């Protein structure tokens, strides 16, 4: 079952700001308990519930496999495994996944990938005054994030989907 982000988001959170601050929206994903990343709204395509997962021999441990979507097959990545651990052993059960679009370079064809979405995806408003440095709990933030903002006291990296899906991190 595919769901639009607009249907799934239960709330939009506004951060108090001054009158001259510029607002922007971001899709907030809690990819593991208490840890967040964000994506630009235009790259978030939809949520899929319990997609069929096809494991791929030789794929990196954090890349769970292929899932069918919109008549094609796209890669599914577990951000918790990518950013923090590379676990061996059983593949975690997949519930919801967030489908994302990416473009390797301007003018290149649009491609798609998905990340595990174990918790609800929210839409939040962000302002420049909330910018902060990347957290230091993963060596991959500088390689995958284009900015970072503060949300409810936590640092939220904004991921570049082309960097997430366009290469492997071994």
- Residues within the interface to another protein (CB under 8 A): 54-60, 63, 65-66, 72-75, 77, 111, 113, 164-168, 170
- Closest CB to another protein among 124 and 162? 162
End-to-end alpha carbon distance in the chain: 32
Shortest spacing between CB 9 and another protein, in angstroms? 26
Shortest spacing between CB 139 and another protein, in angstroms? 18
Shortest spacing between CB 96 and another protein, in angstroms? 19
Q: Would you say the C-alpha torsion 26, 132, 144, 57 has a positive or negative sign?
A: negative
Nearest to 118 by CA among 32, 16, 6, 22: 32
Residue showing tokens 């967040």 = 36
Shortest spacing between CB 163 and another protein, in angstroms? 11
Shortest spacing between CB 56 and another protein, in angstroms? 5
- Closest CB to another protein among 108 and 128? 108
- Closest CB to another protein among 65 and 123? 65
- Closest CB to another protein among 13 and 168? 168
Q: State the Rg of the chain over Cα.
A: 16
Strands of the sheet with 96-102, listed across from one edge: 2-3, 44-49, 96-102, 111-116, 72-77, 63-69
19 Rama sector, left if φ>0, alpha if ψ -120 to 50, beta otherwise:
alpha
- Closest CB to another protein among 77 and 155? 77
């Amino acid at each position: 079952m595919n769901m639009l982000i607009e249907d799934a988001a239960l709330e939009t959170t506004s951060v108090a700001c001054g009158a001259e601050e510029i607002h922007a929206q971001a899709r907030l994903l809690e990819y593991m308990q208490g840890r967040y990343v964000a994506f630009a709204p235009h790259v978030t395509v939809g949520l899929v519930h319990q997609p069929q997962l096809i494991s791929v021999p030789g794929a990196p441990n954090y890349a769970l496999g292929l899932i069918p979507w919109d008549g094609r097959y796209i890669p599914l990545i577990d951000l918790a495994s990518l950013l923090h651990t590379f676990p061996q052993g059983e593949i975690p059960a997949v519930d919801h996944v967030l489908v994302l679009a990416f473009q390797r370079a301007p003018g290149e064809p649009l491609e798609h990938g998905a990340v595990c979405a174990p918790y609800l995806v929210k839409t939040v408003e962000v302002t420049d005054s909330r910018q902060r440095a990347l957290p230091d709990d993963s060596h991959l933030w500088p390689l995958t994030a284009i900015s970072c903002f503060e949300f409810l006291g936590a640092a939220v990296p904004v991921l570049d989907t082309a960097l997430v899906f366009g290469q492997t991190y071994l």
